[in-house]
């Protein structure tokens, strides 16, 4: 059901969630103005106390920002999808559904599915979740399209932890000059009589109110949807999947809606990131203040030719000479000031804060280049140090695997129903590759020990050494090994022993 006219937007029961979305969006963006705006809204009057980003800027002070939040999100996505996942129709490996496999690979390639998944994974880390949505337009594209919808552009509804409906929304361009007028496109997905429907609507309201519903043709950004106010997808499931970053959501554990959502990698580290920016700003300010200064009487300063006021250029290196002895001249002496730069104190504080922020996100500091001390280690030692990172990657991969298998199957169904591909849909198997590949020396040692104990077949050992190989590659390698060892049974057993 589409939202009612003149209803509050965002809905009241989502206000606390969207408030957190705004905070995490500011950190993810790395935009200092956004950070200042978000935290200033949280106090009645910005004060010198409280969080660094909520304080007033005084005496021309510049606040600096270290974009660690964006780095965490990027690393999270890279750990999951820096290598393309292996996507196969199981039946294609056993001699059937070759056309379906070929069509799926074409859809993935032409639609840029892997690139979009990577983009979605980064946003998922920052915002706690992301939506995968299937689109199609037979007049423009011959393949279904996967699109990413941000968490703060959706109002999902869950039942027993499963997505049962979702309302996507976006603000449209406003050519007028009235900032209080906001146009919104609402796209509603829900199940009606066992079939998934999509409802489109246009509203004209204010920043806090949805306003009145208009005809889709009344705005250029929705005019192409005229006639598609209600779409029967002919699917028995929503063409949408929600991917949580990680559950449970500690922030909204008892919230009637929020407990279904994933938790951001920033959750609980906002204060530490704020302190990191304060430390960085203080460090750079020490450098600025550490420049040598000479305290002099006013008459030693240069005078502005227009205003007549005395001025001092802190970056000036060459000054006009004075025909006088400044030390012996009464009342015009000077004092040299050289402040210390507390580099080591700032460095240690910043490193400790970075450690806390990264660990809170579920990663090992070594993943971000900390605590490595120039050591070159074997794969086994590296895996031990990166264990926290690999555990977090594994948790996230479980959520992505299920969602990707669902959405790719839906894309094949849409391809068959709406784009008339003639290909039989099937459910693919998605294998998300481990970024931390096993050390070949360690694997070889284990395989050798297993061989000596005669505790595994040739096929098992081939799979251990080549976990990324297909069924055909594994079987071909097994056959070659058997042939080399004289273990392969000839096609005609009668010919055994005949010259």
- pTM (2 d.p.): 0.81
Q: Which helix (H) or strand (E) holds 232?
A: strand 230-232
Q: Specify the length of the chain in residues.
A: 499
Q: What is the pLDDT of residue 288?
A: 76
**Which three-class secondary structure state does DSSP give residue 156?**
strand
Q: What is the pLDDT of residue 318?
A: 46
Q: What is the pLDDT of residue 437?
A: 56
Q: Nearest to residue 444, comparing CAs of 378, 384, 382?
A: 378
SS (H, E, C) 290-356: CCCEEECCHHHCEECCCCCCEECCCCCCCCCCCCCCCCCCCCCCCEEECCCCCHHHHHHHHHHHHHH
Record the tokens describing residue 284, joined without a space: 């750079």
Q: Nearest to residue 243, comparing CAs of 73, 404, 17, 74?
A: 404
133-154 confidence digits (pLDDT tens): 999 999 999 999 999 999 999 9
Contact by Cβ (8 Å): 129, 242: yes
Q: Which helix (H) or strand (E) holds 244?
A: strand 240-244
Q: Give the phi and the psi of residue 292 in degrees, each rounded to 5.
A: -60, 135
CA dihedral over 19, 20, 21, 27, signed as positive or negative? positive
Which residues are CB-neighbours of 332 under 8 A, at least 6 positions away?
Answer: 296, 297, 299, 300, 324, 326
Contact by Cβ (8 Å): 75, 42: no
Classify residue 71 by burial, with Cβ atoms within 10 Å: 0-12, 13-18, 19+. middle
Measured in whole angstroms, the distance separating CA 331 from the mean position of its chain's CA atoms is 63
* Alpha carbon distances (Å) from 441 to 199, 437, 463: 57, 12, 15
The tens place of each residue's pLDDT in the chain, 499 residues long, gives 899 999 999 999 999 999 999 999 999 999 999 999 999 887 655 555 678 888 877 666 789 999 999 999 999 999 999 999 999 998 886 667 889 999 999 999 999 999 999 999 999 999 999 999 999 999 999 999 999 999 999 999 999 999 999 999 999 988 777 888 999 999 999 999 999 999 999 999 999 999 999 999 999 999 999 999 999 999 999 999 999 999 999 999 999 999 999 999 999 999 999 999 999 998 888 887 776 666 656 555 666 667 767 665 655 544 545 555 555 555 555 565 666 778 889 899 999 999 999 999 999 998 888 866 545 454 555 555 678 898 999 999 999 999 999 999 999 999 999 999 999 999 999 999 876 555 555 566 666 677 777 777 888 877 777 776 777 788 888 888 887 777 766 655 555 555 4
Indicate the DSSP class of residue 95: T
Dihedral through CA 478, CA 484, CA 489, CA 491, nearest 10?
A: 100
400-438 confidence digits (pLDDT tens): 999 999 999 999 999 999 999 999 999 999 999 876 555
């Amino acid at each position: 059901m589409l939202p009612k006219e003149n209803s509050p937007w965002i809905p009241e029961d989502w206000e606390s969630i969207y408030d957190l979305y705004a905070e995490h969006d500011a950190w993810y963006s790395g935009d200092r103005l956004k950070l200042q705006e978000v935290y200033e809204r949280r106090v009645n009057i910005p004060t010198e106390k409280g969080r660094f980003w909520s304080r007033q800027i005084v005496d021309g002070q510049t606040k600096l920002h270290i974009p660690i939040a964006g780095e965490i999100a990027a690393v999270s996505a890279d750990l999951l999808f820096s290598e393309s996942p292996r996507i196969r129709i199981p039946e294609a490996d056993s001699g059937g559904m070759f056309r379906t496999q070929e069509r799926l690979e074409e859809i993935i390639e032409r639609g840029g599915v892997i690139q979009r998944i990577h983009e979605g994974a980064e946003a998922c880390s920052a915002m706690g979740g992301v939506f995968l949505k299937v689109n199609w337009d037979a007049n423009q594209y011959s393949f279904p399209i996967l699109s990413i919808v941000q968490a703060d552009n959706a109002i999902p509804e869950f039942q027993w932890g499963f997505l049962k409906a979702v309302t996507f929304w976006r603000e449209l361009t406003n050519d007028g000059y009235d900032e209080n007028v906001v146009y919104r496109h609402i796209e509603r997905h829900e199940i009606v009589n066992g079939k998934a429907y999509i409802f489109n609507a246009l509203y004209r309201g204010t920043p806090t109110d949805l306003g009145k519903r208009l005809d889709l043709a009344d705005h250029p950004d929705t005019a192409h949807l005229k006639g598609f106010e209600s779409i029967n997808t002919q699917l028995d499931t929503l063409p949408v999947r929600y991917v949580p970053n990680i559950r449970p959501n500690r922030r909204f554990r008892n919230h009637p809606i929020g407990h279904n959502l994933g938790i951001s990698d920033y959750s609980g580290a906002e204060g530490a990131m704020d302190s990191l920016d304060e430390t960085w700003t203080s460090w750079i300010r020490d450098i600025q203040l550490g420049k040598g200064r000479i305290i002099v009487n006013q008459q030693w300063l240069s005078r502005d030719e227009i205003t007549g006021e005395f001025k001092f250029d802190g970056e000036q290196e060459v000054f006009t000479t004075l025909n006088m002895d400044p030390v012996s001249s009464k009342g015009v002496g000077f004092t040299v000031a050289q402040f210390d730069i507390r580099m080591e104190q700032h460095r240690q504080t910043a490193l400790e804060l970075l450690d806390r922020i990264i660990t809170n996100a579920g990663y090992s500091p070594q993943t971000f280049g900390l605590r490595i001390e120039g050591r070159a280690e074997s794969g086994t030692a590296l895996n031990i140090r990166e264990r926290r990172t690999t555990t977090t990657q594994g948790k996230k991969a479980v959520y992505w695997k299920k969602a990707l298998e669902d959405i790719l199957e839906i894309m094949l169904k849409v391809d068959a129903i709406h784009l008339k591909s003639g290909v039989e849909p099937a459910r693919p198997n998605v294998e998300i590759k481990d970024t931390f590949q096993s050390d070949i020396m360690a694997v070889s040692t284990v395989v050798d020990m297993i061989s000596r104990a005669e505790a595994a077949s040739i096929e098992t050992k081939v799979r251990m050494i080549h976990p990324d190989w297909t069924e055909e590659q594994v079987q071909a390698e097994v056959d070659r090994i058997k042939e080399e060892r004289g273990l392969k049974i000839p096609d005609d057993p009668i010919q055994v022993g005949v010259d």
